[in-house]
Amino acid sequence: MIDTNVMQDASEIVRYDQMGIPLYIQRDKLSDYPDWKALCHWHEDLEFIRILKGQMNYHVNGKQVLLKTDDCLMVNARQMHYGYSYNQQDCDFICILFHPQLFTGNKLIFQKYIAPIMENQGMEYIYFDGISCEGRETAALLDQIYSIKEQAAVAYEIEVIGIMLTLWKRLCERCEAISPENVGQGGSDLSVQKDMVSFIHQQYGEKLSLSDIAASGSICRSKCCIIFKRYLQQSPIDFLNSYRLEVSRGLLKDNANNITQVALACGFNHLSYYSKLFLRSYGCTPSQYRNLHLQ
């Protein structure tokens, strides 16, 4: 089962394939994720998703994209995003993350070709339809990157960087056609959403109410619910419980505390309620999960 490790500000802790080289290339299935869904998160890296088989719903800043077989998606840096199962169907996909510092330390190159993409408010993501010529070419490049990683020849990262530069040139061409937009209200709401998610990640062990979550974003409760629905497709309390459950899974792998103590540490005041939510999300009880991971 795959964990999406996030920090208290909701940014993901990206486990690069090799320490010191900001590059992550993996093939995954949604069924390997808890409840067939990744936690909502963001990171400084750009992310490419390439669908090999099946379909996946993908949310970027509250906007939904349905990805089908052979489709690709680029998610820009610092965007709130997550993928989840479409109609409880599995999805086989390639995920590639990389930081642009992988390319160059040249200041002029960065200012001319890299910063305009990363800072373009109008480029939250780019969808590549698998039927289109551009989509097929993008998929072929991502497949080539994955194949090179799997072969793991000497200095394979250099070859991967070469292909990444080809992809980046295409992003630059797209960027020319997208005018930067002012952040405006949508940007303001996204900032508030990040503040509230960060608050939950820091205070999940405390007794939290809808009013507490709304106050962390300096908005009213109704606005809080609207923003969570727009960006995360969940109520604030449902998101809070999902995060508490995810934290509890990590604690269950350590035999230091009993299950009641784990529940309390994660903000669940009633063991029966915690066990019910855990069973519904992961298909087993906390005790069964602990026994499975302590063997």
**What is the per-residue pLDDT across 58-105, written as a single tens digit (0 to 9) for each?**
999 888 899 999 999 999 988 889 999 988 889 999 999 998 888 777
Q: What one-letter code names the amino acid at 83?
A: G
Please compute the mean of the pLDDT values over residues 127-141 and round it to a whole number: 94
256 against 129, higher pLDDT: 129
pLDDT digits (tens, 9 = 90+) for 22-46: 899 999 998 888 778 888 888 889 9
At 101 the pLDDT is 80
Say yes or no to pLDDT of 288 above 50: yes
Percentage of residues of the chain with pLDDT beyond 70: 91
pLDDT digits (tens, 9 = 90+) for 158-172: 999 999 999 998 888
Report the predicted TM-score, pTM, of the whole model to 2 decimal places. Answer: 0.69
pLDDT value at residue 2: 52
Domains of the chain: 23-176 (2.60.120.280), 184-294 (1.10.10.60)
Question: Rounded distance, CA 93 to CA 36, Å?
Answer: 13
- pLDDT, position 32: 82
The answer to whether 52 and 27 have CB atoms below 8 angstroms apart is yes
Of 14-23, 109-118, 148-157, 191-200, minimum mean pLDDT range: 14-23
C-alpha 79, offset from chain centre: 9
**184 pLDDT above the threshold of 50:** no
pLDDT at position 71, please?
A: 97
Distance from C-alpha of 44 to C-alpha of 294, rounded to nearest angstrom? 34
In this prediction, residues 240-253 reach a mean pLDDT of 88
What tokens were used for 18? 């090799």
Region 195-210 average pLDDT: 90
Mean pLDDT of 247-254: 86
What mean pLDDT value characterizes the chain?
85
Q: Using pLDDT thresholds of 50, 70 and 90, give the confidence band for residue 283.
A: confident
Average pLDDT rounded to a whole number, residues 231-241: 88
Cα-only R_g, the chain: 20
pLDDT at 295 over 80: no
- pLDDT-based confidence at 185, cuts 50/70/90? very low
Helix (H) or strand (E) holding 67: strand 63-67
Decide if 286 contacts 274 (C-beta within 8 A): yes
> How confident is residue 181, by pLDDT bands cut at 50, 70 and 90?
very low
Note the pLDDT of residue 132: 93
Predicted pLDDT at 282: 84
23-29 and 63-67: which strand pairing? unpaired
Q: How many other C-beta atoms can be found within 10 angstroms of the C-beta atom of residue 185?
A: 8
Please tell me the predicted confidence (pLDDT) of residue 4: 56
CA 194, CA 217: separation in Å to the nearest integer?
9
- What number is the average pLDDT over the span 279-285? 87
Q: Please list, in sequence order, all residues whose beta carbon lies within 8 angstroms of the beta carbon of residue 280, skipping any fewer than 6 positions away.
A: none
Residue whose entry in the numeric block shows the structure tokens 């390997």? 32
94 phi and psi angles, rounded to 5 deg: -105, 135
- Residue 14 is predicted with a pLDDT of 59
CA-nearest of 224, 194, 228, 226 to 212 is: 224
